[in-house]
């Protein structure tokens, strides 16, 4: 009889006593496909060959060094749920297994109904997570609509997210690297784990090891209690190392050692600890260039650079600005207790003509500023920050009775502005002071526009 490939798979790993002999005829659980492994090696062989949804691991009489199997399974297949079967004497080891990523433990003797209840609940939870991730993926796709570059980034993120591979995010400051790191985390199999950010540029070198790995009480002046480090907080989740290019040579060595071994010691302790954590790093610097300049370790760079995603600046993906504005309006309406739903055409034109050197972060700050000042349900040009108004289009509105252009006659705003400046310069014989005064802008703004549009003038600037 053919096996239903849509059924979720249960793997029983019981070196002490075969599970079928414990459960008898109830070994097969309704609605699930079951596999039995009599040895740890047999369990690992099954896990290497196929996807397994649930592992029931009997740790009674299992050598303690082999109980790290829990950590190994979670590192290879983070979405696999592990349920520990133990005797009353194994509760300490069962608790340790929970810290390493196991979902539950059951004290023997067990019944088939216990297994049925657990796998049904965990299965329903996994299905809800998949539905949520699919919905979030659709929303993100809509948010990035119109930008081929960002759609490409999202497709790569979807492929990378389910793995445990290290990711290095590049791009200018403010392009949304932490936001994208959170996307990868939320679409990963580690969604139940924590997303723990660390700004490497904000941590003094003397505190780096304590911040990352933790310390024991009394290990140095001011250590008045035991403190776990960020790697422990991120266990079974994601550690986001922002501005990793700012790390000192000493900190780079300590991070490299951890990435190689995935083990560490708290300061002042001799206990070797192990964690299962995914690393996503980010930098607005060219790390490959820093390697050439001997300012960043080559071996650390290659450890971090398993997958390299470079986020384009906002000026190269302006198609996403309307959707980003909608996102920021929704977010700040709740925070500011406002009900703003749109921008005026004049405000939209000003933002469309701006280059956003601060990228997405700057756009978010601009929208928040405007929302605070806005009085009705619309952001107008007067609500925008003053520096934007100084850089607005140098165009006057159409005179009364002016003919309306047909769609074929409409030219881009930048071209319209360039032509308008050229006509004004010609009218005043390239007298920059008089031209600027007539256009209602400063002389420096006029000069900048002339350079930006590469307008030839009769007199040198």
| Average pLDDT for 212-233 | 88
Percent of the chain with pLDDT over 70: 87
Confidence (pLDDT) at 28: 63
| Stretch among 243-247, 275-279, 434-438 having the lowest mean pLDDT | 434-438
> Residue 164 above 70 pLDDT?
yes
> Residue 288 above 90 pLDDT?
yes
Cβ contacts of 431 within 8 Å, gap of 6 or more: none
| Stretch among 120-124, 174-178, 438-442 having the lowest mean pLDDT | 438-442
Model pLDDT for residues 85-134, shown as the tens digit of each residue: 888 888 888 888 887 778 888 888 887 788 888 888 888 877 777 776 67
Give the tokens for residue 355.
């280059």
User: Residue 38's CB: how many other CB atoms inside 10 A?
Assistant: 16
Give the tokens for residue 451.
């350079």
Percent of the chain with pLDDT over 90: 33
CA dihedral for 246, 251, 252, 258, sign (positive or negative): negative
Exposed/middle/buried for residue 266 (C-beta within 10 Å: 0-12, 13-18, 19+): buried
Q: Please give the angle made by the CA atoms of 159, 317 and 370, to the nearest 5 degrees.
A: 115
Cβ contacts of 276 within 8 Å, gap of 6 or more: 71, 74, 75, 78, 100, 101, 235, 236, 262
Model pLDDT for residues 370-379, shown as the tens digit of each residue: 999 999 999 9
> Residue 15 above 80 pLDDT?
no
Q: Hunting for tokens 């009394």 — which residue is that?
A: 218
> Residue 249 above 70 pLDDT?
yes
Are 340 and 333 in contact by the 8 Å Cβ rule? The answer is yes
Question: pTM above 0.75?
Answer: no
16 — pLDDT class (breaks 50, 70, 90): low
25 — pLDDT class (breaks 50, 70, 90): very low
Confidence (pLDDT) at 65: 60
Q: Please give the angle made by the CA atoms of 204, 207 and 210, to the nearest 5 degrees.
A: 150
CA pair distance 451, 277, nearest whole angstrom: 50
Q: How far is CA 293 from CA 246, 288, 297, in A?
A: 14, 9, 10
H, E, C per residue of the chain: CCCCCCCEEEEEECCCCCHHHHHHHHHCCCCEEEEEECCHHHHHHHHHHCCCCEEEEECCCCCHHHHHHHHHHHHHCCCCEEEEEECHHHHHHHHHHHHCCCCEEEECCCCHHHHHHHHHHHHHHHHHHHHHHHHHHHHHHHHCCCCHHHHHHHHHHHHHCCCCCCEEEECCCCCCHHHHHHHHHHCCCCCCCCEEEEEHHHCCHHHHHHHHHEECCCCCCCCCCCEECHHHHCCCCEEEEECHHHCCHHHHHHHHHHHHHCEECCECCCCCEECCCEEEEEECCCHHHHHHCCCCCHHHHHHHCCEEEECCCHHHCHHHHHHHHHHHHHHHHHHHCCCCCEECHHHHHHHHCCCCCCHHHHHHHHHHHHHHHCCCCEECHHHCCHHHHHCCCCCCCCCCCCCCCCHHHCCCHHHHHHHHHHHHHHHCCCCHHHHHHHHCCCHHHHHHHHHHCCCCCCCCC
> Residue 17 above 80 pLDDT?
no
Confidence (pLDDT) at 224: 81
Confidence (pLDDT) at 18: 60
Domain locations along the chain: 8-126, 144-312, 315-390, 407-452
| Average pLDDT for 442-446 | 76
109 cis-preceded (ω within 30 degrees of 0): yes
> Residue 395 above 60 pLDDT?
no
Cβ contacts of 252 within 8 Å, gap of 6 or more: 296, 297, 300
> Residue 341 above 50 pLDDT?
yes
Are 439 and 446 in contact by the 8 Å Cβ rule? The answer is yes
| Average pLDDT for 390-397 | 55
Confidence (pLDDT) at 410: 61
The values of phi and psi at residue 82, to 5°, are: -115, 130
CA pair distance 31, 375, nearest whole angstrom: 58
Are 29 and 119 in contact by the 8 Å Cβ rule? The answer is yes
CATH fold for domain 407-452? Arc Repressor Mutant, subunit A (1.10.10)
CATH number belonging to domain 8-126: 3.40.50.2300
Give the tokens for residue 408.
């074929």
Are 364 and 403 in contact by the 8 Å Cβ rule? The answer is no
CA pair distance 450, 436, nearest whole angstrom: 11
**CA nearest 359: which of 212, 180, 189, 232?**
180
Confidence (pLDDT) at 406: 52
Confidence (pLDDT) at 5: 55
Average per-residue pLDDT for the chain = 84
Q: Which range, 34-38, 44-48, 326-330, has the best average confidence (pLDDT)?
A: 326-330
**CA nearest 13: which of 85, 96, 97?**
85
Right CATH for 315-390 from 3.10.180.10, 1.10.8.60, 3.40.50.300, 1.10.1740.10: 1.10.8.60
Confidence (pLDDT) at 400: 47
Right CATH for 144-312 from 3.40.50.1100, 3.20.20.80, 3.40.50.300, 3.20.20.70: 3.40.50.300
| Average pLDDT for 314-340 | 90
Are 15 and 61 in contact by the 8 Å Cβ rule? The answer is yes
Exposed/middle/buried for residue 246 (C-beta within 10 Å: 0-12, 13-18, 19+): middle
| Average pLDDT for 224-241 | 92
β-sheet bridge partners, residue 86: 107
312 — pLDDT class (breaks 50, 70, 90): very high
Are 203 and 248 in contact by the 8 Å Cβ rule? The answer is no
Decide if 8-126 and 144-312 have a common fold.
Answer: yes
């Amino acid at each position: 009889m053919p096996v239903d490939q849509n059924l979720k798979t249960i793997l029983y790993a019981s070196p002490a006593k075969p599970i079928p002999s414990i459960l008898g005829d109830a070994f097969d659980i309704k609605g699930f496909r079951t596999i039995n492994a009599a040895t740890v090696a047999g369990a690992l062989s099954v896990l290497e060959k196929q996807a397994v949804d649930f592992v029931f691991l009997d740790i009674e009489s299992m050598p303690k060094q082999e109980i790290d199997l829990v950590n190994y399974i979670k590192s290879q297949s983070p979405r696999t749920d592990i349920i520990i079967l133990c005797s009353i004497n194994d509760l300490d080891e069962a608790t340790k297994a929970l810290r390493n990523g196991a979902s539950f433990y059951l004290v023997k003797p067990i019944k088939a109904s216990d297994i049925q209840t657990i796998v049904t609940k965990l299965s329903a939870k996994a299905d809800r997570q998949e539905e949520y991730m699919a919905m979030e993926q659709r929303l993100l796709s809509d948010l990035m609509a119109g930008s081929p570059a960002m759609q490409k980034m999202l497709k790569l993120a979807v492929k990378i997210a389910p793995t445990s591979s290290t990711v290095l995010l590049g791009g200018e400051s403010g392009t949304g690297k932490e936001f994208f790191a959170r996307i990868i985390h939320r679409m990963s199999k580690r969604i139940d784990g924590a997303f723990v950010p660390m700004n490497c540029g904000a941590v003094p070198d003397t505190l780096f090891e304590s911040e990352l790995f933790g310390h024991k009480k009394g290990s140095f002046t001011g250590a008045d209690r035991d403190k776990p480090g960020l790697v422990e907080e991120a266990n079974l989740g994601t550690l986001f190392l922002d501005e990793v290019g700012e790390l000192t040579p000493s900190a780079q060595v300590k991070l490299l050692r951890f990435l190689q071994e995935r083990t560490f010691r708290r300061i002042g302790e001799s206990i070797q600890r192990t964690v299962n954590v995914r690393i996503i790093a980010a930098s607005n610097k060219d790390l490959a260039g820093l390697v050439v300049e001997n300012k960043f370790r080559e071996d650390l760079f290659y450890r971090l650079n398993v997958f390299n995603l470079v986020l384009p600046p906002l000026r190269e993906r302006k198609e996403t600005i309307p959707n980003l504005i909608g996102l920021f309006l929704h977010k700040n309406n709740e925070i500011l207790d406002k009900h703003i739903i749109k921008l005026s055409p004049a405000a939209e034109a000003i933002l469309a003509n701006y280059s956003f050197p601060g990228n997405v972060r700057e756009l978010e700050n601009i929208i928040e500023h405007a929302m605070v000042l806005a009085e009705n349900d619309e952001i107008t040009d007067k609500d925008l920050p003053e520096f934007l108004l100084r850089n607005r289009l140098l165009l006057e509105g159409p005179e009364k009775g002016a003919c309306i252009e047909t769609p074929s006659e409409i030219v881009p705003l930048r071209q319209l502005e360039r032509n308008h400046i050229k006509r004004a310069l010609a009218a005043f014989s390239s007298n920059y002071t008089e031209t600027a005064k007539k256009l209602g802008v400063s002389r420096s703004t006029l000069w900048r526009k002339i350079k930006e549009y590469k307008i030839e003038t009769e007199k040198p600037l």
